Amino acid sequence: MRVLNSRKGIQRKPRVLIDTSFLLPAIGISTDREVMDAIKHFPKFEICYLEASLLELSWKILKIIDDNKMEYIKSGLKAIRETYTLVSPSPNAYIQAYLLYKKGHKDFIDNILYFTSIDLNIFLLTIDLELINFLKKNSYPLAHILTPDALDQLLRDAVSE
């Protein structure tokens, strides 16, 4: 789990790409307890997100947020951009996401997240059991996918090393 920066001899935090569920609290939308518990561990990681996740977050804002909350939303979005690391999907991630969509997993943003995490060789933190089960059923690799429970286990294993 630890990465050594050979130039400076310092350790770098492991990178984790998060799905949109983990961005919701930043804009004041309550979410599952397991998401909130996982967020407590974020300082131990370099948290990454996709611009597509902010688009998905915007769809939620359109559906459930009142106009009088826009300053809070603005502050939350600014905090996401200042605190987390923006990563970009490769052309390959888009193509693979499209192929996964054609196979039957119809959440294109989840598909892009999955293949971006593979391309960048980083963990994907998700609570989406539908995605995980679809990938498992179709024999896609799951070694880099973390659920909040797996995140806790990863941290426990790192401490015991």
**How many other C-beta atoms lie within 10 A of the C-beta of residue 119?**
16
Reported as a pLDDT band with limits 50, 70 and 90, residue 66 is confident
Query: pLDDT band at residue 68, thresholds of 50, 70 and 90?
Result: confident
> In the β-sheet with 46-49, what is the strand arrangement from edge to edge?
85-86, 46-49, 15-18, 123-125, 145-146
pLDDT value at residue 64: 85
User: Structure pTM?
Assistant: 0.89
pLDDT digits (tens, 9 = 90+) for 93-127: 999 999 999 999 999 999 999 999 999 999 999 99
Report the CATH number at residue 40.
3.40.50.1010
> Which region holds residue 139: left if phi is over 0, alpha if psi is between -120 and 50, else beta?
left
> Which pLDDT value is given to residue 5?
43
Alpha helices in 16-104 (DSSP H): 33-39, 51-64, 70-83, 91-103
Predicted confidence at residue 6, as pLDDT, reads 42
Tens of pLDDT, residue by residue over 18-61, are 999 999 999 988 889 999 999 999 999 999 999 999 999 999 88
Domain count, the chain: 1
Tell me which residue range forms the domain holding 132.
3-160
